[in-house]
Amino acid sequence: MRLNKFLSNSGVASRRKCDEIIAEGKVFVNGKQVTELGFKVNEKKDKVMVEGKVIKLPSSFVYIKLNKPKGYACTAHDEKGRKTIYDLIDCDERLFSVGRLDYDTEGLIILTNDGDFANKVAHPKYEMEKEYRVTCEGDIKESELAVMRKGVVVDGTRMPSAKVEKLSYENGFTKLSVVINEGQNRQVRRMFEAIGHDIKLLKRVRIGDVRLGGISRGEYRDLTEEELNSLVRN
């Protein structure tokens, strides 16, 4: 098994991030440092360590959906000492998030120790839709919606197009549905910044066919078999 796949399947990180960890010289196999990205290991015999910790394949896979509140970081250890989503999860397995939500964004996030599954859901080439509910200041004009649908230009670069639907305008605030399938860093926030509207609430409500519904802020549950299969099929 390729080393990056072994690390990813063991819940260390996404396969792309595992490549970075290997290149940085943080991985040792049978006591020897390995920086070769194509290196292969025998998962039954070899002893693999990352930063002094022995890494093993999980005995079973875990798939969780969490309603992330605002004020939590999507990282195992936050350098600023802030609360993280792992403070909300009671699980003995080493989990990592499938995609991220920034500190001030709430809503649906999936956590797992299955690296292949995570790669399938998170990788841009699979074009997994992600739907957000946005509340922003001001009345969004149709011309502004058209700009976001086409793809706003930020620092001279056009961002990916998005499906944008205006849901309501009331008391000075517009509510919208925004669907994207690439998930660039802070993509939704940057879209609204580009047209001059401040986001007051940003919440992810769907990944693929899996919806947030019915889970309170800070709560989580296992994905159902139907939800899991829907993500694998996409």
Residue type, position 194, single letter: A
Q: Residue 38 burial by CB count (10 A; 0-12/13-18/19+): exposed, middle or buried?
A: exposed
Collapse the DSSP code of 65 into the 3-class scheme (helix H, G, I; strand E, B; otherwise coil) and give the result.
strand
Query: Out of 87, 102, 104, 198, which one is annotated catalytic?
Result: 102
User: Which residue, 171, 203, 3, 172, is CA-closest to 102?
Assistant: 203
Q: Has 46 been annotated as catalytic?
A: no
The CA radius of gyration of the chain, in Å to the nearest whole number, is 20
Cross-strand pairs, 149: none
Collapse the DSSP code of 15 into the 3-class scheme (helix H, G, I; strand E, B; otherwise coil) and give the result.
helix
Residue 47 near residue 27 (C-beta atoms within 8 A): no
The region that residue 98 occupies, defined by phi over 0 for left and psi between -120 and 50 for alpha, beta otherwise, is beta
Phi, psi of 63 (to 5 degrees): -135, 115
Residue type, position 59, single letter: S
Residue 146 corresponds to which tokens in the numbers above?
A: 């058209």
Residues 6+ apart with CB under 8 A from 125: none
Residue 163 near residue 179 (C-beta atoms within 8 A): yes
User: Could you give the residue numbers annotated as active site?
Assistant: 102
